Chains A and B, each alone.
Chain A
């Protein structure tokens, strides 16, 4: 029977061609959507690399007050550290977790440019406040104050890209011209700060002391942001207390306090909205494909009523007829999927979008399963109709 199905499909190649093209295109759309889905789900399930719970972000804007900025900031941080309910205070650049700000660049190593990576400013307390996991070397400390090169801590992704077979600690990155140098002092497991769906991409932390030059007009993104780890359960009372402490030192500065949990929710909405819209568009496309397949099969069965009657007369059961139509559809789907897979395989082979091959392979599997399920569902009802056709009636159709 399988040979018979293949013979029929081959002999009807012209009429099956459109169906195969429709399946290839549907498969491709599904593959793209599945890739996006697998990529985001995979990222979502990865460890964030830091603990955002019970961390508050404080933005301080001195406005026109440029006098003794660094001293005031240092005093503020001391006051905050001493406040009851605060576990730790750190200072970082404006690209805090879940913010909409990014800083990036590319190091060179032995004259070869490394992949683009995100850069973050951090001080010696950042690791403890954010609970980062150091896997090689150490985090910044007082020893780095005398360093002639800017000390940096990189993540495993950058380490693997730059020094896959050697230790990262002690290695020196330069800029493109070889004028600036950065020395790796440690490696952390990861830090997916942008959102829950961000890839564990290469990044580095640069140790930055309190050296902000406020004689120049500083843009808000250049100003440091404070991150505080607070006792679990801290709320409005502590927030009020912190603002009071800050105001005592920095009169006239504007102060805003947010928790990283709040920032995460806001970022999730921002990231998920286009994904949901895309999902709806794809869902609509898939529905159209399903209706198209359903229509084609329905038409096909109506065109082949006489054949159905003949097969019943020759000994086919109703279930056998239904099975034949379902089988034909599955063979046609298989041909479409094989062509679609050939097209989809180019993505991991050519490294399109720099996404891991595993993501594409899983997306192919998912798209294959969905397209087979879709065609089976679309073929099921017309096949049932075919199975129920009375042979005497259908033989009179011609």
Chain B
């Protein structure tokens, strides 16, 4: 259950920090959804370590617990049992405020359905994570948002609204939003799932570049084996358990 397969794609910066504690460590993580009549095990004693700078992909059929795993790593959901550690520090009994602070400082999210706010311009959407960061003024927010959009090649679209963009452009905005906060970890939930193959390649290249050039740790859930094989390590899930 705990075996993992690593597919080396390139020289990983993580090897430099082999002695350092893993960036993300899950020990016996369980997640059970309970209703009045039924109990559903979403994650069953998952053990996983992801080092700083690694690009890991998670694959598995629908409903196998991939997104739940990402939610738990992203501090959006609490495990029913087990221990999650970030940077060697256990994330347990944190207050809502502390969890929000951790999410804001450490983690960037990219979702399959982009999750852009349609009533905000591209620039305003990218600024969002910085809005919740103390000590970042309006001018700095703008500068960082512009820089992030520049990185994803959308600096000419700052005043556009999400509805005026293509799917690929929207996903690039979502990636720029994740980048604006300069997170150590990016959690991507099927980032190419809603895109055609050309757009999907573009987004994948962007994530790979980020991982290679900036050393950002990326955990990506995907259904696309072709994309998954480009990452350093592939983890397979089935029925809430890690199978490979």
Residues of A within 8 A of B (CB): 1, 3-4, 7-8, 11-12, 306-307, 309-320, 390-392, 395-396, 398
Contacts and interface: CB of A to CB of B under 8 A. Distances in A.
Contacts of A313: 74, 76, 103, 107, 109
A314 B129 contact: yes
B119 A316 contact: no
A94 B133 CA distance: 77
A390 B104 CA distance: 16
Given A313-B109, A315-B133, A306 B115 contact: yes
Nearest to B127: A4
Contacts, number: 72
B117 interface: yes
B120 A11 contact: yes
A314 B104 contact: yes
Contacts of A12: 119
Given A315-B103, A315-B104, A317-B100, A392 B115 contact: no
Contacts of A319: 96-97
Contacts of B100: 312, 315-317, 320
A320 B132 contact: yes
A390 B71 CA distance: 11
B199 interface: no
Interface in B155-186: 177, 181
19 contacts: A7-B124, A8-B120, A309-B76, A312-B100, A313-B107, A314-B103, A314-B132, A314-B177, A315-B103, A316-B132, A317-B97, A317-B100, A320-B100, A390-B76, A392-B68, A392-B71, A395-B76, A395-B111, A398-B115
A312 B76 contact: yes
A319 B100 CA distance: 11
| Residue of B101, B104, B131 most packed against chain A (CB within 10 A) | B131
B68 to A, nearest CB: 8
B142 to A, nearest CB: 11
Contacts of B120: 7-8, 11
Contacts of A395: 71, 76, 111, 115
Contacts of B71: 392, 395
B128 interface: yes
A311 B128 contact: yes
Contacts of A317: 96-97, 100
Contacts of B131: 1, 4
Instruction: Determine the main DSSP class of A at the interface with B.
Output: helix
Given A11-B120, A391-B76, A315 B115 contact: no
A307 B138 contact: no
Contacts of B67: 396
Interface residues of B, number: 31
Contacts of B105: 315
B113 interface: yes
Nearest first, the 8 A-B pairs at minimum CB distance are A315-B104, A315-B132, A392-B77, A392-B71, A11-B119, A392-B76, A317-B100, A314-B129
B190 to A, nearest CB: 13
Given A313-B107, A391-B76, 15 more contacts: A1-B131, A11-B119, A309-B115, A313-B76, A313-B109, A314-B177, A314-B181, A317-B97, A317-B100, A318-B96, A320-B132, A390-B76, A392-B68, A395-B71, A395-B111
A307 B162 CA distance: 14
A316 to B, nearest CB: 5
Contact of A314 (B109, B119, B138): B109
Contacts of B103: 312-315
A391 B75 CA distance: 9
A322 to B, nearest CB: 11
| Residue of A311, A315, A317, A319 most packed against chain B (CB within 10 A) | A315
B77 A315 contact: no
B128 A390 contact: no
Contacts of A11: 119-121
A359 B188 CA distance: 61
Contacts of A306: 115
A315 B127 CA distance: 12
A341 B124 CA distance: 32
A315 B181 CA distance: 10
B236 to A, nearest CB: 22
